Chains A and B, each alone.
Chain A
Amino acid sequence: MTRVTQQTARIVFFLSAAVSAMAAALVFGFLLVFGFPLIGGGEFFSLLARPWSPGQGLYGFLPMITGTAAISFLSIVFALPLSLGTVCFMGGLGPARISRLVDGFVRFMTGIPTVIYGFLGIFLLVPVVRTLFTSAGSGMCILSASLMLSLLVSPTMIIFFKDGFDSVDVRYIQAADALGADSVQRLIYVILPEAWPGIVTGIIMGLGRAMGDTLIALMIAGNAVHVPGSILDSARTLTSHIALVSASDYDSLAFKSIFACGLTLYVLNAFAVIAVRKLGKKRGQAR
């Protein structure tokens, strides 16, 4: 291979990386420019804390922020134990043969479309929730949405956890085995500490997936525009809000507000990413 092809390859790699990285900035730029009329007036932060009532010219999205927070947090609360348990099962606590089956099943789950969860949510879960909890009204509520969401985010988390587990060098596992570690000890002392970056990545990805999902909340959370008071209340997420309002007049303030919503999601996400990266790094150094 000549020096030229070397250089060319290198440049191609660099450009790809640069372009991909710029994509994040590009999205940010678009949101900023399109949402400028609302944000520019320094109103952005007051929007966060205000209700939504276009009739009175109020375009705050406090309801959507609380809705998003409630639904995504609750779904991680459901999904994290499920995912950790499952990955520990595959990491040596369960029989090898069943683990392999579970692994295949989980990978298959990543392929189950979110819209199918929404669809089944409407026809299977919502009626159940409605009958179990009379105060859930229609059954379209935070609880229904987070339950469905937890199934959506679990496989994502499990796969990243599992990648972390798999990246542990076989020789470490052999060393621990030869020293008489049982499967639990091997897991706790060798695999989990080594797999920590994978676990952090998994949680980022899971949370991102939960906050970023539109369809499940749109289809089964009810979309009411108010600050929810309980997990049995109907609620609207920022994402559903964008989906619902992207349909209004371009030049209306309501339409511009969805860019502010998008921006909020963007910033929330960026904060989460930075925070969790910091956390992972600290842990890495402590070892």
Chain B
Amino acid sequence: QAGAIDPFSGLSGEIRISGGTAHIPVMKEAAKQIMRANPEISISIAGGGSGVGIKQVGEGIVDIGNSGRAATDAEVEKYGLKLFKWAIDGVGAAVNPGNPVTSLTKAQLKDIYSGKITNWKDLGGKDAPITVYTRDESSGTRAVFWKKALDKGDIVSSANFVVSNGAMKTAIANDPNAIGYVSVGHMDASVAGVALDGVPPTIDTVKSGEYKVARGLYSNTQGDPSGLTKLFIAYLLSPEGQRIVVQKGFVPVN
């Protein structure tokens, strides 16, 4: 196959990537393909959340800063960022698979997150306290969920914090009384996506536009990318890169 990784051949150097945690499965797979074919190239991947990605790339600490939300105008202007969107993703509320509650109205969701509803029995579930999980301010996933699903409503202060999409999924999978929100691309049998006003968060509803809490996944660079960084972004957008996107459960852009 006319490899999209051919341009890397014979090159050496390091690409540093950090930021959005929704991106990590795709980043890891892409890095693996590239490094396997080109042992002289090393690619390091760190998480931290979208805010961190934008900040670190802006400061020149990393070469690529990922974000699960579009960088704000202020950020773009301050750091001279270039945004590359390579997948579309949704953010869905999720509960433990053992939880009978699988559908909520937006109002109910907001009440849960603001702390007005604290027991699953008020939602038709069993008599057990609701454990609310949330992400920190740096998270793009949180920003999108807060804006589009909670309409910028309050998040109760007793909510447990987790540090990434992966961690959110794990926490929900382990806690029978949990509710949280997670990238649709990350959802699998270990958690149950909660239908919002009747629309389940799945890759298809996101693709069709039916599920509204959707966002792009971005890789950002400071100024126009060059060298290995440029090749890496080109690789993500290539057919081969987009195949990885699909394989990891996201909606491709091309």
Q: Is A134 an interface residue (CB 8 A)?
A: yes
Q: Is B158 an interface residue (CB 8 A)?
A: yes
Q: Is A15 an interface residue (CB 8 A)?
A: no
State the total of A-B contacts with C-beta under 8 angstroms.
67
Interface size on B, residues (CB 8 A): 26
CA–CA, A137 and B59, complex, Å: 40
Contact, CB under 8 Å: A223 / B51: no
CA–CA, A249 and B55, complex, Å: 5
CB proximity to B under 8 Å, residues A31-86: 51, 53-54, 63
CA–CA, A140 and B175, complex, Å: 10
Are A234 and B158 also in contact (CB < 8 A) when A135-B129, A137-B131, A248-B138 are? yes
Contact for A139 among B49, B158, B175, CB less than 8 A: B175
Are A137 and B157 also in contact (CB < 8 A) when A248-B55, A254-B137 are? no
Q: Using C-beta atoms within 8 Å of the partner chain, give the interface range for chain A.
A: 20 to 34
A140 to chain B, nearest CB (A): 6
Contact, CB under 8 Å: B59 / A244: no
Residues of A within 8 A of B158 (CB): 224, 226, 233-234
A41 to chain B, nearest CB (A): 22
Which chain A residue shows the least CB distance to B78?
A251
Residues of B within 8 A of A254 (CB): 137
CA–CA, A234 and B177, complex, Å: 14
CA–CA, A41 and B131, complex, Å: 38
Which chain A residue shows the least CB distance to B155?
A55
CA–CA, A80 and B52, complex, Å: 40
Contact, CB under 8 Å: A222 / B128: no
CA–CA, A170 and B136, complex, Å: 57
Residues of B within 8 A of A222 (CB): 160-161
B118 to chain A, nearest CB (A): 10
Contact for A245 among B55, B131, B136, B157, CB less than 8 A: B136
CB proximity to A under 8 Å, residues B156-187: 157-163, 171, 174-175, 177-178
CA–CA, A122 and B178, complex, Å: 15
B41 to chain A, nearest CB (A): 26
A8 to chain B, nearest CB (A): 41
Q: Is A256 an interface residue (CB 8 A)?
A: no
Residues of A within 8 A of B177 (CB): 137-138
Residues of A within 8 A of B59 (CB): 250
Contact, CB under 8 Å: A138 / B157: no
Residues of A within 8 A of B175 (CB): 130, 137-139
- The digit string for A106-128, where 1 denotes a CB below 8 A from any CB of B, is 00000000000000001000110
CA–CA, A54 and B52, complex, Å: 16
CB proximity to A under 8 Å, residues B140-160: 157-160
A211 to chain B, nearest CB (A): 20
Residues of A within 8 A of B51 (CB): 247-249
Contact, CB under 8 Å: A138 / B136: no
CA–CA, A223 and B164, complex, Å: 13
- The digit string for B51-81, where 1 denotes a CB below 8 A from any CB of A, is 1101100010000000000000000000000
Contact, CB under 8 Å: B136 / A247: yes
Contact, CB under 8 Å: A138 / B161: no
Contact, CB under 8 Å: B137 / A224: no
Contact, CB under 8 Å: B131 / A244: no
Q: Is B225 an interface residue (CB 8 A)?
A: no
Which chain B residue shows the least CB distance to A127?
B174
CB proximity to B under 8 Å, residues A13-37: none
Which chain A residue shows the least CB distance to B146?
A55
CA–CA, A248 and B49, complex, Å: 8
CA–CA, A130 and B182, complex, Å: 23
- The digit string for A246-264, where 1 denotes a CB below 8 A from any CB of B, is 0111100010000000000
Q: Is A236 an interface residue (CB 8 A)?
A: yes
Q: Is B25 an interface residue (CB 8 A)?
A: no
Residues of A within 8 A of B128 (CB): 134
Q: Is A273 an interface residue (CB 8 A)?
A: no
Residues of A within 8 A of B162 (CB): 223
Contact, CB under 8 Å: A54 / B137: yes
Residues of A within 8 A of B171 (CB): 138
Q: Is A168 an interface residue (CB 8 A)?
A: no
CA–CA, A226 and B177, complex, Å: 20
Residues of A within 8 A of B136 (CB): 244-245, 247-248
Residues of B within 8 A of A250 (CB): 55, 59
Contact, CB under 8 Å: B157 / A225: yes
Contact for A224 among B138, B161, B174, CB less than 8 A: B161
Q: Which 9 A-B residue pairs are closest in the complex by CB-CB distance? A: A223-B161, A226-B157, A247-B52, A222-B160, A138-B131, A137-B131, A247-B48, A138-B175, A247-B138
Which B residues have a C-beta under 8 Å from some C-beta of A?
Answer: 48-49, 51-52, 54-55, 59, 128-129, 131, 133, 136-138, 157-163, 171, 174-175, 177-178
Which A residues have a C-beta under 8 Å from some C-beta of B?
Answer: 51, 53-54, 63, 122, 126-127, 130, 134-135, 137-140, 222-226, 233-234, 236, 244-245, 247-250, 254
